[in-house]
Structure formats: structure tokens, C-alpha cells
Chains A and B, each alone.
Chain A
Amino acid sequence: MRDYMKDTDRYGKIWIWTAAVLILMVPVAICVYYDAWPEMTAVFKGLLGVAPIYWTVGLIEVITYTPMLGVGGTYLAFVTGNLTSLKAPSALSAMENAEVKPGSEEGEVVSTIAIATSSIVTTLVLAAGVGVLWLVTPLLDSPVLKPAFDNILPALFGGLGVVYISKNWKLSVAPIVFMVVLFLAVPSLAGSVGVLVPVGVLIALGAARIMYKKGWV
């Protein structure tokens, strides 16, 4: 790794370990301040309902997104969250607009700038929103606006899809056909779309490799 990348990795590790400690300190602080340590069995039972899925998805997400987001982007995105619904599309769109290759140092820089900007804006919007929550709650809860928030992923990936697919349509056929057929056959998988991202990636990679070997791309 080059110097910038090495430094980014070192700083990234410092920040992410600090974040891990800080995040763990939140429930500790609540327990200490209110003298309200919960029963271990309650926490264990609660975790049993979500941890097997979350921890598996967490591992899959790290393996899938790290090569896409780069070093700085990964260390930042895995702290600030909303990876699939915002940070990865932000990085992808920014690299496409800046005409830099993912995986290159330029791509690393642009991806990091996009994820950092997105994190800052999200944090500021949430902070401002919390400040006036009493004012915006009726609006956010309104049934009129509900379809807008329910459809944020199609609204996001429609635009992003057309940019990326139009430039790489041959590579996109196999994973898109596979995913459309899969979701038509098993609609209940819509709730597990995060787990299916690596499946889509594997299909896309397999098809791309075959086409590359045959000289079609």
C-alpha cells in the first residue's frame, strides 16, 4: 500500500476502534447513571432474536463493500451506517461523475469524500430535525408523504441504475434477470435484500468472467 493508503488505514483503525468503545459506552453510561443494569438473560434473549442475522449480514457487508468503498470510505461508512441505502450509492455516483475508477487511489479519494460528505449532511439533517421534531413529526407521519418514504429505494436505484447499466449493459443482464426472477418467485425475500447483495455480486462476477474470457466485454 502507498503512504496515503497506509496512513488512511492506520487512522481508520484508530477512529473505528474509538467508535467501537464510544458506542459500547452508551449502554454502559445508561446503566451506570440510572443504576439500571438489565438482566443478562433478557439481553441474551433479545439478542437471540436479531444477532444471528445481523452478525451474518455484518460479515457479508464488510466483505462485499470494502473493495467497493476503499479504505477511508469503509472505515467511515461502517461507523456512520445506512450503507446500502445511502453510503454505497453516494460513493458509486460520485466516482461515476468524477470519472475515476473504483479501486484506484483517485477512486479511493472520491469515494471517501462522498461518504464523508454524506455522513456530515445526514448527521446535520438529523440534528436539525431532532431540534424541531415537534414541528416536523406531523409532516413525517402524514399518510400523504408515506409513499415517498416507502419508495425511497426504487427512487434512488432507478436513477443510479440507468447511469451504470447504460454504460455496462452487457455486464448487467445476468444479475438483473436473476434478481428479477428470484424476487418474482420468492417475494418474501424483499425483507432480506441486504443478504442478497453478495449473491447479485457473485452472479455479476461469474457472468463477467465468462464474457471476459470469451472476449465479449
Chain B
Amino acid sequence: MNFSTNSLFLYVVAACIIVFVLAQSTFFLVRAYRRGKQLGLTAKQLRKTVISTAVFTIAPAISFLVGIVTLSKFLGIPLPWIRMSVIGAITYELPAATSTANALNVSLSEMITDPKVYSAIAWVMTLGIIPSIILPPFLMKPLRNGVIKLQNRDQKWSDLFMTSMFLGMISAFLGMVFADVRSGLVGWIPIFVLLFSAALMGICGILIKKCNMKWLETYAMAISMVGAMVFAVVITPVIGG
């Protein structure tokens, strides 16, 4: 069988995975939507959640496409497409491919032509992330029971506990933007972008509360994120990054 990183066979495999992901997502979406209605959440509230999330997702999704472009230079399109659609992130996939290529003494500067190299990379990418899929079924029950026990014991502390978990996550990413400040003004770009995003969100908040522009709630996250990305494009050449 002639090997090509962009063969029809690989596209068919990718399509099967994509259909599965869409099916699983749709299944959970429909169930949650119906349950939301039973719990008394209004159709307007639920629709707002869907629209707001959909709009907010578009820009990051396009950035994942950059990951496909990067990987496609040596892996073709189907495998990166699969990997970026299922537990994928360029930060995982590129080191996995590089590590395997190093082990095989091959270069990733050009398209892979040896199917054994290609399959080795596919195995390392897959086995590298497989614990993220097989661990949730084992850990779900104890973790979920822990949350329920916490809620039953002390509701106020339970609320603070969940809020603190989210703030812990956010704080790691807020702290990360300060990592490059020692490299001069260029290292401040992520901080400027973060502050610009925060300022846009603040403006949206004022418009929502003071000017009663309720519709803006749905798009505020997307506006602050995309606005800050545009800001990054503008200030980076000015600063010299």
C-alpha cells in the first residue's frame, strides 16, 4: 500500500473520529438542555449559554487551526486534525512528535514518507494522552462524593471551596503573563494584552449595568478576548516584539 500522510484512508479515519466527537457532544448537550428546563432554567437562559459559549469559542478554535497548520508540515492534515479534535493541544502534540522523531533519528523539517515513523508518532501521541481519558471513570465517584459531602456538611464553605478552585486556576494564568517581564518592554506585551482584555470587560460590565444593555452579556467575553487579540496585533510591532 502506497503511503501518504494525506491519503483518503487517513481522512476517512479522521472523519469517523470527528463524527464521534460531534455525536458525544450533541448527546450531552441535548440531555443537559432538557434537564435544565426541568430544573426551571428558562429557554432564554439556556439559549444564552449556548450562543455566548459558541461566540466565545470561535477565536480559540481558530488558534487550534494554527496547531493543525504547524503539525501538517510533517504529518499531513488528517492526523493533526484528529489530534486537535480529541484531547489535543499543540503543546502536547508537538513535543510528542519531536520526541519520537528524535528517538528514530529523523527530521521533522519535511513531510514524513516512512509509514513506520508515522505510525510510531501516532502511537506516542495516543499513548501520551490516554490517561486523561481512562482516569475520569475511576476517579469520578470519589471526587463527586467528596463534593456532595462538602455541600451537605457546610453549604457556605462548599460555595467558597468551588469559587477558590476557579480562582486558583485563573491565578495560575494571570501569574504566567509576568514570566517574561525581565526581557524588557517586549515581555510586557502579555500584561498589556491582559489589562486591555480586563478593561474591555470592565467597559462591557458598565454598559450592561449602567446603560441596561443586557444583550451585551452574551458577547462580553468574546468582545474582550477578540478585542485584546487585535490589540496584541497592533502593539507588538509598535513595541518591537
Task: Decide if B213 is an interface residue (CB 8 Å cutoff).
Answer: no
Q: How large is the interface on A (under 10, 10 to 19, 20 to 34, 35 or more residues)?
A: 35 or more
Q: How far is the CB of B164 from chain A (nearest CB, A)?
A: 4
**Residues on B with beta carbons closer than 8 Å to the beta carbon of A153:** 173, 176-177, 190
Please determine whether B24 and A19 come into contact, CB atoms closer than 8 angstroms: yes
Nearest Cβ distance between residue B167 and chain A, in whole angstroms?
Answer: 5
Chain B residues within 8 Å of A24, by CB: 126, 130
Whether A122 contacts B35 in the complex (CB less than 8 A), given A109-B41, A201-B169, comes out as no
With A50-B99, A101-B162, A155-B225 as known contacts, state yes or no: A106 contacts B39, CB within 8 Å: yes
Chain B residues with CB below 8 A from A72, complex form: 28, 31-32
- Asked whether, in the complex, the Cβ of B139 is within 8 Å of the Cβ of A63, the reply is yes
B198 and A161 form a contact (CB under 8 A): yes
- Would B179 and A78 count as touching, CB distance under 8 A? no
* Selected contact of B128 from candidates A51, A79, A97, A180, CB within 8 Å: A51
What bracket does the count of chain B residues touching chain A fall in? Answer: 35 or more
Give CA–CA (A61, B129) in the complex, Å: 12
Question: Could you tell me if A47 and B221 are in contact, using CB atoms closer than 8 angstroms?
Answer: no
CB contact under 8 A between A50 and B174, given known A103-B158, A147-B241: no
Q: Are A54 and B131 in contact (CB under 8 A)?
A: yes
Q: List chain A residues, Cβ under 8 A from B48.
A: 97-98
Contact present for A157 and B126 (CB under 8 Å): no
CA distance A102 to B162 in the complex (A): 6
Q: Which residues of A contact B146 (CB under 8 A)?
A: 67
* CB-based contact B168/A62 at 8 Å: no
Interface membership of B107, Cβ < 8 A = no
Q: Is B33 an interface residue (CB 8 A)?
A: yes
Known A19-B24, A117-B57, A161-B198; contact A149-B136, beta-carbon cutoff 8 A: no
CA distance A110 to B158 in the complex (A): 18
Q: How far is the CB of B28 from chain A (nearest CB, A)?
A: 5
**Contact between B224 and A155, CB atoms less than 8 A apart:** yes
Nearest residue, chain B, Cβ from A21: B133
Chain A residues whose CB sits within 8 angstroms of the CB of B62 once the complex forms: 125, 129, 140
Closest Cβ of chain A to B158, distance in Å, is 6
How far is it, in angstroms, between the C-alpha of A66 and the C-alpha of B102 when the chains are bound? 35
Contact yes or no, B229 A151, CB < 8 A: yes
A113 in contact with B32 given A26-B126, A34-B3, A82-B89 (CB within 8 Å): yes
The residue on B at minimum CB distance from A119 is B25
A200 B171 Cβ-Cβ under 8 A = yes
The distance from the CB of B140 to the nearest CB of chain A, in whole angstroms, is: 6
Check A81 against B89 for contact (C-beta < 8 Å). yes
Of all chain B residues, which has the CB nearest A153? B173
Given A17-B137, A76-B25, list of 20 further CB < 8 A pairs?
A26-B82, A30-B119, A46-B100, A47-B99, A47-B127, A54-B131, A58-B132, A61-B132, A72-B31, A93-B56, A105-B35, A110-B32, A110-B41, A113-B50, A154-B190, A164-B166, A176-B174, A179-B175, A187-B180, A198-B168
15 A-B pairs in the complex with CB atoms less than 8 angstroms apart: A9-B140, A27-B122, A30-B122, A38-B117, A46-B96, A46-B123, A63-B139, A63-B143, A78-B132, A81-B88, A93-B221, A122-B61, A158-B197, A175-B172, A200-B171
